[in-house]
Amino acid sequence: MKKTKLLFDNNKEFEMNIFEGTEGEQAIDISQLRQNTGLITLDEGYQNTGSCKSAISFVDGENGILRYRGIPIQELAENSTFVETSYLLIYGYLPTQKELKTFSNMLTENSLIHEEMIHFFDGIPPHAHPMAILSSMVNALSIYYPTLYSEAFFSITFDLVCARLLSKIRTLAAYSYKNSIGEPFVYPRHDLKYTENLLHMMFNSPVKPYTLDPEIVQALRVSLILHADHEQNCSTATVRLVGSSQVNLYTSICAGICALWGPLHGGANQQVVEMLEKIRDEGLTIKEVIENAKSKDNNFVLYGFGHRVYKNYDPRAKILKQLVEKLFNKLNIEEPLVEIAMELEHAALNDDYFAERNLYPNVDYYSGILYKAIGIPKEMFTVMFAIGRLPGWIAHWKEMHDTIPFKIGRPRQIYTGATLSHYIPIEQRG
């Protein structure tokens, strides 16, 4: 085990181990730092701090690499299905045909939500944001499908809880969409596969049957695969932190959905399309937008650009851009937002400000445009991200629970407030 030393000016020193992962990443193990030196570390936004060891996905930000359980994302996008990729992430290996069929059947059998849950929607106003509904309804699953933490711990129960969640999130998402447009809910069908069923429940209606287009199904399936996991991003780290209190899986995932909604995270895909629409509607020039993005004097953010880890082109954005071009050609769609997005990307990638900061398009830059072409409304874009990310969240929750015992997450802080003072009765406060 490699080691390093902290040297103090009073000649004291403290030796620490250096942990090395399978891809050569190295970390200083500071687990004994405070008890041996009285010091803690401080790292806003955890930019240099690892919260755990994980074998689920690997991101090489400098080289634009993303692998799920060692398999490059490009190969999974090309050859896998979302259900198979979910199995890979959660159980750690590509399933045999028998295992995949069993898993797929469990998802089919668990696609309905308890009929009583539908009454929850009665009180939800049409203008409610689907992410608010989804987080509430996912947590409500723990009302109808009680999973005592100890029960969920055993594999048989975990498999059922996992299948229920993976399957029902589609139904809850589709119902929240139908609720927002005042249309009757469309039940899942047992003869449809995962992505087909999601589109069926969202777009089919008793008065206007929806025809599943294989190109659209494949485009959405690949997008779900691309969103399935991404190391310790904000929402995954949230799922682990909340899950570390030993609360059930549904509630831990509810926390992840809430974190994902933020415009700096998964909410960016909706912001990107709204930004492009604003450029189109206000007739802004690309030059004006780039200048706004570089200026510190305004709160304009070039959504869909930049990333904490990728200092190269996000490999997912590359595939999504190809999907957009392919689908638009296939469906013969004229979408001015695509032209604006590509012109904006070209201008940013050729601007020193962005080059110096290694700012490239991220997964959210083209995903919203793709969802728009499929007919998914803006408010549902981050819901699509949540459905895609769910297997990753479940995989991280399981990985943490498989390492028994695991510690509750509880960061420290450095206090900067008032030193000791005393209560002053209100009469003496003037």
Tokens found for residue 12:
């004291």
Which region holds residue 345: left if phi is over 0, alpha if psi is between -120 and 50, else beta? Answer: alpha
Could you count the other beta carbons within 10 Å of the beta carbon of residue 226? 28
Q: Is 307 a catalytic residue?
A: yes
Asked if 241 touches ligand SDX (CB under 6 A), the answer is no
Burial 316-327 (b: 16+ CB within 10 A, else e): bbbbbbebbeeb
Residue 193's SS3 state is coil
Which of 204, 362, 367, 382 is the binder for ligand SDX (CB under 6 A)? 362
67 bridge partner residues:
58, 72
Instruction: Supply the minimum distance, in Å, between the C-beta of residue 231 and ligand SDX.
Output: 6
Residue nearest to ligand SDX (CB): 306
Q: Which residues contact 83 (CB under 8 A, 6 or more apart)?
A: 100, 103, 104, 107, 193, 194
Q: Is 364 a catalytic residue?
A: yes
CA dist 323 and 318 (Å) reads 9
Residue whose CB is less far from ligand SDX, 243 or 306: 306
Which of 200, 221, 230, 240 is the binder for ligand SDX (CB under 6 A)? 230
Residue whose CB is less far from ligand SDX, 95 or 409: 409
User: Per-residue x/- mask for ligand SDX, residues 20 to 59, rule CB under 6 A?
Assistant: -------------------------x--------------
Q: Report how far Cα 10 is from the mean position of its chain's Cα atoms.
A: 46
Residue whose CB is less far from ligand SDX, 40 or 264: 264
List binders of ligand SDX among 249-278 (CB under 6 A).
264-266, 268
Q: Which residues contact 153 (CB under 8 A, 6 or more apart)?
A: 401
27 bridge partner residues:
19
List binders of ligand SDX among 283-312 (CB under 6 A).
293, 301-309
Which among 230, 314, 364, 401 is annotated as catalytic? 364
Token look-up 């392919």 returns 326
Which among 307, 314, 396, 401 is annotated as catalytic? 307
CA dist 260 and 263 (Å) reads 8
Asked if 359 touches ligand SDX (CB under 6 A), the answer is yes
Which of 317, 364, 384, 391 is the binder for ligand SDX (CB under 6 A)? 364
Residue whose CB is less far from ligand SDX, 47 or 211: 47
Does an H or E element contain 392, and which?
helix 381-402
Asked if 223 touches ligand SDX (CB under 6 A), the answer is no
Q: Which residues contact 287 (CB under 8 A, 6 or more apart)?
A: 347
Binding segment for ligand SDX (CB under 6 A), chosen from 50-58, 118-126, 212-220, 362-370, is 362-370
The DSSP code sequence of 101-112 is HHHHHHHHHT-S
Q: How many residues bind ligand SDX (CB under 6 A)?
A: 22
User: Per-residue x/- mask for ligand SDX, residues 311 to 350, rule CB under 6 A?
Assistant: ----------------------------------------
Q: Which residues bind ligand SDX (CB under 6 A)?
A: 45, 230, 233, 264-266, 268, 293, 301-309, 357, 359, 362-364
As annotated, the active-site residues are: 307, 364
